[in-house]
Amino acid sequence: MSTAALPADFLRAIAESFPSDFLTREPAELQEYGRDWTRVYAPAPGAVAFPRGTEEVARFMALCHQHRVAVVPSGGRTGLAGGAVAMHGEVVLSLKRMTRMEPVDLLGNTVRVQAGAVTEAVHQHCAPHGLTWPVDFASKGSSTVGGNIATNAGGVKVIRYGLTRQWVLGLQVVTAQGQVLELNGALEKNNTGADLRQLFIGSEGTLGIITEATLKLTRLPGKQDVFLFAVPDVAAVLRLFRDARQAPLVLSAYEFFTDKCLARVQRHRKLRSPFEAPSGCYVLLESEGGDPAAVEAWLASLFERGLVTDGTQAQGAAQAQELWSLRESISESLSATGVLHKNDISLPVANLEAFCSELDAVFASRYPGWEICLFGHIGDGNLHVNVMKPDAVEKADFFAHAKQSDHAMFDLVRKHGGSISAEHGIGLLKKDYLGYTRAPGEMELLRTLKRALDPAGILNPGKILDV
Amino acid sequence: MSTAALPADFLRAIAESFPSDFLTREPAELQEYGRDWTRVYAPAPGAVAFPRGTEEVARFMALCHQHRVAVVPSGGRTGLAGGAVAMHGEVVLSLKRMTRMEPVDLLGNTVRVQAGAVTEAVHQHCAPHGLTWPVDFASKGSSTVGGNIATNAGGVKVIRYGLTRQWVLGLQVVTAQGQVLELNGALEKNNTGADLRQLFIGSEGTLGIITEATLKLTRLPGKQDVFLFAVPDVAAVLRLFRDARQAPLVLSAYEFFTDKCLARVQRHRKLRSPFEAPSGCYVLLESEGGDPAAVEAWLASLFERGLVTDGTQAQGAAQAQELWSLRESISESLSATGVLHKNDISLPVANLEAFCSELDAVFASRYPGWEICLFGHIGDGNLHVNVMKPDAVEKADFFAHAKQSDHAMFDLVRKHGGSISAEHGIGLLKKDYLGYTRAPGEMELLRTLKRALDPAGILNPGKILDV
């Protein structure tokens, strides 16, 4: 499908029944709205639509269905898997004008918002009431509620709060045929057959368009303690994790990174390690609550029991921010100091140690000397695996090899019951690898659902899997 | 379909390829396994099957599919909506022999169990490790993991832990065609398209048979405080709720009941109210954590600010149990002291006050003098509404009127965006009322899913909705 393929009678119908600024075909806007943060696909949408509300989305979808026009739903376009990329003349349906937020319901602890509301704006809207929507990650300044829900977004606080899925009470969805569904309203409990919300959460816009949501809120966290620990290896990271989960505190983050990551952060950001001696791995642990004396006793015991080789606790907010910035600068520092190939995978926590050591062996035998930078939300079993290009290897060669190494890594992921995409989704980027995580029976069921909900195949076609 | 209708070649195939004790047609067992705790349907299954593992379930379902034999999946049969009733010659598929529990994974905090494992047995299996599966309610001694998941069970701790849905990492499901699906393994994060687990959670066995699950565990709670407060009315219950959610403690239960409930508990169980003067409503509040001095200051402020008219805090476990038994004896006491008609509904918390006062008005105008006993998990918006038969009214008359009053109540439920079944499910009992909670578009989507997953219509036919 190319730009020219948008049917004339479809365009005429849009022009007749929508405001004049509803649709654009300006080349600059096609470029901008045709892609997300994934930079490997050439955007080529046929048009971009900017509805102001659900009623317009519904009428628009009915027209698209009638004329068999493919639609790519689009939020903050911060995705990393190409889920919001339009490269075949589709119409991008941008929710950017749908940013309305209703007053916070202080009895139910909920807020109703349109799908285009920006994550951080929701946080700011709720914070004066001591409440928050605990969906939080680096791109919160641009990502939207609808995009977060459509990708079931994760982040650094999943260990404390769970994924986005847990924080959506009600969902308003427009179907491929243009029907508006109001799913679950603002109910905590509603056992009346299959929970239809769940179909749309994490489906990357392939089953319906999320237009509004009633978000579940929680109290802003109280005082948080931030610790950085040095441990020799992944096995020690996991021993400490097991211990920390039994400690007299509530874990709100358990993040890990290797010395290789830290070295690149130090090089790029000129940040200092708080430790004298380097160590194989580091753990950033954030906690809430707990009796201070009990927490102190636990901390002391970590050294006595040999669970950590070094450790520091942030004294005050500025130091806490310094420790967090070591972890949060990793992505940027890796990109700034080299060429890399990334993956976002997950494993059952119990299999992480075996996986990491087998992964080391695979890379060591296939690509001796290549640098692998591992970090991630290890408390959720989530690893970000980054392969750095050696100076001596050409870029094209490197990416060809990296792609091959993906297969070797995904074989291990499959062997250990893991997922090839922990939080970034499948989109276009991981589509060819979906079979490593989904068995043939699951793939068939995914196709069955897609055909049942979008028989004309107009909703984000080609994303996740081909029908 | 009657007993005679089980095809001879189906029965022959079962006899040839399964152990001799796999299937029974003994009348006493048909009676026993043909029903759940709902006592309004006459059980009439054609047979009862007792598989020992997933492989047998899969072979059995393939045969049922081939011969178009209807199947009613069955766990602990503690359901209250007729979801596990077989009254048309179906084969009951009892999971009672599938009770295996694997060792607790102390790194991942998970446990893999077969669907027939009893809830309380899972608790006992995990407790020595300081862990629990926080799915907890009155029937835990009989209810099974598979049944809990198939009905997305609730209970008194939902406000703290959420519904069963949140505590299922992996799900093994056998489809209507006899295919085994392993969904999500033991992964916390796995964003690889629609989350297929969610289809089966809460679907009451109409979309697949749950055979095994990997359960997510959490730490056993620490010290808990139990309070009973007296307040004048529902509005005051909700004012206190709003305040308690901002209090320096973690709410682990927020239960309410009216004076009418307490009076019947006192009559039946000879329990004493801890308060001198009667009050319109009572709140049982259970909390964890919090600085004792801060909690005490908050408590004192409740009286000063007029949020409660009386209150008591349990001193020790025995007193805590006494307070809890006031709440937990309600169901039994209502049944023991009268004839009643029950409903389990939910509302957005913000609409509870208006709903309750409109409900009062409806009953007062239609049935002056009838006694309505309200109690429930009000922090989740969940109300148990019990209409008591007046002595002067005949039973048959009473139930006919009560059924009519359901329509008036469900009109109010719909008006306020509520659910006709908060936690008990739909089964047979609420099927005719589903339209009060589900819009026509949702009903159609539920039917679409059912047809897609169970095209032959053999999985728990007639439950939730007719296709």
**What is the rounded CA–CA span in Å between residue A8 and residue A13?**
9
pLDDT score recorded for residue A163: 97
- Taking one residue from A and the other from B, the number of pairs with CB-CB distance under 8 angstroms is 238
List Cβ neighbours of B266 (8 Å cut-off, separation of 6 or more). Answer: B272, B273
Determine the distance in angstroms separating the CA of B61 from the nearest CA of chain A, rounded to an integer: 16
pLDDT in tens, B295-308: 999 999 999 999 99
List Cβ neighbours of B110 (8 Å cut-off, separation of 6 or more). Answer: A348, A350, B104, B169, B186, B214, B215, B216, B217
A102 interfaces chain B, CB cutoff of 8 Å: no
**What is the rounded CA–CA span in Å between residue A246 and residue B222?**
12
**Above 70 in pLDDT, residue B338?**
yes
Number of Cβ within 10 Å of residue A21's Cβ equals: 9
Q: What are phi and psi of B212, to 5 degrees?
A: -145, 160
DSSP, collapsed to helix, strand or coil, labels residue A334 as helix
List Cβ neighbours of B432 (8 Å cut-off, separation of 6 or more). Answer: none
**Taking a C-beta distance cutoff of 8 angstroms, is the pair B146, B213 a contact?**
yes
Question: Which of A152, A191, A424, A433 to substitute to test the interface with B, most B CBs within 10 Å?
Answer: A191
**Taking a C-beta distance cutoff of 8 angstroms, is the pair A163, A150 a contact?**
no
A20 interfaces chain B, CB cutoff of 8 Å: no
**What is the rounded CA–CA span in Å between residue A351 and residue A354?**
6
pLDDT in tens, B117-140: 999 999 999 999 999 999 998 899
Contact B194 A203 (CB under 8 A): yes
What does the pLDDT profile of chain A (467 residues) look like in tens digits?
Answer: 444 589 999 999 999 999 999 999 999 999 999 999 998 899 999 999 999 999 999 999 999 999 999 999 999 999 999 999 999 999 999 999 999 999 999 999 999 999 999 999 999 999 999 999 999 988 999 999 999 999 999 988 999 999 999 999 999 999 999 999 999 999 999 999 999 999 999 999 999 999 999 999 999 998 999 999 999 999 999 999 999 999 999 999 999 999 999 999 999 999 889 999 999 999 999 999 888 899 999 999 999 999 999 999 999 999 999 999 999 999 999 999 999 999 999 999 999 999 999 999 999 998 888 999 999 999 999 999 999 999 999 999 999 999 999 999 999 999 999 999 999 999 999 999 999 999 999 999 999 999 999 999 999 999 999 99
**Above 70 in pLDDT, residue B3?**
no
pLDDT in tens, B140-161: 999 999 999 999 999 889 999 9
**Taking a C-beta distance cutoff of 8 angstroms, is the pair B367, B226 a contact?**
no
Q: Which of B107, B162, B203 is closest, CB to CB, to A238?
A: B107
Distances (CA, A) of B432 to A200, B182, B416, B427: 27, 34, 20, 10
pLDDT score recorded for residue B2: 43
What average pLDDT does the segment B27-36 reach?
A: 97
Residues 199-258 of B with CB under 8 A from A: 199, 201-204, 206-207, 219, 238, 241-242, 245-246
User: Across all residues in chain A, what is the average pLDDT?
Assistant: 96
DSSP state for residue A63 in the 8-state scheme: H
Q: Which residues of chain A make contact with B154, given a CB cutoff of 8 A? A: 189, 191
pLDDT score recorded for residue B5: 80
The percentage of residues in chain B with a pLDDT greater than 70, rounded to a whole number, is 99
Contact B107 A418 (CB under 8 A): no
User: SS in 3 state form for chain B?
Assistant: CCHHHCCHHHHHHHHHHCCCCCEECCHHHHHHHCCCCCCCCCCCCCEEECCCCHHHHHHHHHHHHHHCCCEEEECCCCCCCCCCCCCCCCEEEECCCCCCECCCECCCCEEEEECCCEHHHHHHHHHHHCEECCCCCCCCCCCEHHHHHHCCCCCCCHHHHCCHHHHEEEEEEECCCCCEEEECCCCCCCCCCCCCHHHHCCCCCCCCEEEEEEEECEECCCCEEEEEEEECCHHHHHHHHHHHHCCCCEEEEEEEEEHHHHHHHHHHHCCCCCCCCCCCEEEEEEEECCCHHHHHHHHHHHHHCCCCCEEEECCCHHHHHHHHHHHHCHHHHHHHHCCEEEEEEECCHHHHHHHHHHHHHHHHHHCCCCEEEEEECHHHCEEEEEEECCCCCCHHHHHHHHHHHHHHHHHHHHHCCCECCCCCCCCCCCHHHHHHCCCHHHHHHHHHHHHHHCCCCCECCCCCCCC
**What is the rounded CA–CA span in Å between residue A357 and residue A367?**
15
Contact A189 B423 (CB under 8 A): yes
Determine the distance in angstroms separating the CA of A97 from the nearest CA of chain B, rounded to an integer: 26
**Taking a C-beta distance cutoff of 8 angstroms, is the pair A134, A149 a contact?**
no
| A442 to chain B: closest CA residue | B181
Q: Is the dihedral of CA B108, B114, B116, B118 positive or negative?
A: negative
Cα B39–chain centre separation:
16
Q: What are phi and psi of B231, to 5 degrees?
A: -140, 160
Q: Which of B151, B180, B206 is closest, CB to CB, to A191?
A: B151
Residues 406-445 of B with CB under 8 A from A: 417-426, 430, 434, 437-439, 441-442, 445
Q: Which of B346, B448, B465 is closest, CB to CB, to A189?
A: B346
pLDDT score recorded for residue A289: 83
Domains of chain B: 3-97 (3.30.43.10), 110-219 (3.30.465.10), 224-331 (3.30.70.2190), 338-426 (3.30.70.2740)
**Taking a C-beta distance cutoff of 8 angstroms, is the pair A174, A208 a contact?**
yes
CA atoms within 13 A on the CB side of B246: 14
pLDDT score recorded for residue A61: 98
**What is the rounded CA–CA span in Å between residue B294 and residue A194?**
43
**Taking a C-beta distance cutoff of 8 angstroms, is the pair B376, B382 a contact?**
yes
**What is the rounded CA–CA span in Å between residue B28 and residue B383?**
36
Residues 141-170 of A with CB under 8 A from B: 151-152, 154, 158, 162-163, 165-166
DSSP state for residue B143 in the 8-state scheme: -
pLDDT score recorded for residue A1: 41
Placement of tokens 């950001």 in the chain: A269
pLDDT in tens, A391-441: 999 999 999 999 999 999 999 999 999 999 999 999 999 999 999 999 999
pLDDT score recorded for residue A204: 98
Q: B112: which strand partners?
A: B214
Placement of tokens 């329509």 in the chain: B407
The tokens of B419 are what?
A: 């659910």
DSSP state for residue A44 in the 8-state scheme: -
DSSP, collapsed to helix, strand or coil, labels residue A335 as helix
User: Across all residues in chain B, what is the average pLDDT?
Assistant: 96
B187 interfaces chain A, CB cutoff of 8 Å: yes
pLDDT in tens, B308-321: 999 999 999 999 99
pLDDT score recorded for residue A369: 86
Q: What are phi and psi of B214, to 5 degrees?
A: -100, 115
pLDDT in tens, A253-306: 999 999 999 999 999 999 889 999 999 999 999 999 888 899 999 999 999 999
The tokens of A252 are what?
A: 């709100």
DSSP state for residue B221 in the 8-state scheme: P
